Amino acid sequence: MRSVLFGATLAALLFSATPFLATANGEWEKYLPEEPAILLGLSAAPSSPAIGERIGFLVAFRDPETKAYLANAPSEFRFEIEAFAVSAYPNGGIIHRSEPITVTEGSGEFPYIFSEPGTYDFHIVFADTAGRTRNAGFLLQVRETTPTRGNTAINPLTIISVFAVGLISGYALARRRRS
């Protein structure tokens, strides 16, 4: 009886974690070997956004050997974002250019909302300590939103609650019958 109860509880926990797995964060890294070498990271939450969904980006500037943030960057250290739609290559232009974003403690953040599905090329453009302009590109896939027909989705919390009530009442009924 205990193994059945344990298995049912484990299945319920795994089922309830499914929505969180679908909205996972993603992180990509690019190594820029020119002196001074930099490991540039781009994190996105969620990693596969839908149209109209606000996505939060974090750009991290790290030391490639220690993976530590470049916290000793000058206070005027800034970067810009240039975004291109891959479907518009080679004639397409920039669909988004950000204002300069200040780097604090080795990282900087910016939000973005996509209006069309497709593959986008995000370029992080910055000037290094020697004054050279450098950039690194990252590809990101934006998916279409799936249309819903009313409120047909079942809330996982509802399923877990019904499952738990059934387990508890079944366990209580079995104990009563044994007595």
Question: Is 70 exceeded by the pLDDT of residue 152?
Answer: no
Question: Is 70 exceeded by the pLDDT of residue 153?
Answer: no
Q: Which two tokens stand for residue 28?
A: 């990509």
Question: Is 50 exceeded by the pLDDT of residue 48?
Answer: yes
Element spanning 170, H or E: helix 156-178
91-149 pLDDT per residue, tens:
777 888 889 888 888 888 988 888 888 888 888 999 877 788 998 988 888 888 766 56
Q: Name the more confident of 155 and 19.
A: 155
Average pLDDT for residues 35-53, to the nearest whole number? 85
Give this prediction's pTM. 0.63
Tell me which architecture the domain covering 2-145+153-178 has in CATH.
Sandwich (2.60)
What's the pLDDT at 130? Answer: 78
| Among candidate residues 68, 66, 63, 74, the one with its CA nearest the CA of residue 38 | 63
Question: Is 60 exceeded by the pLDDT of residue 20?
Answer: no
Pairing of strands 118-127, 101-102: unpaired
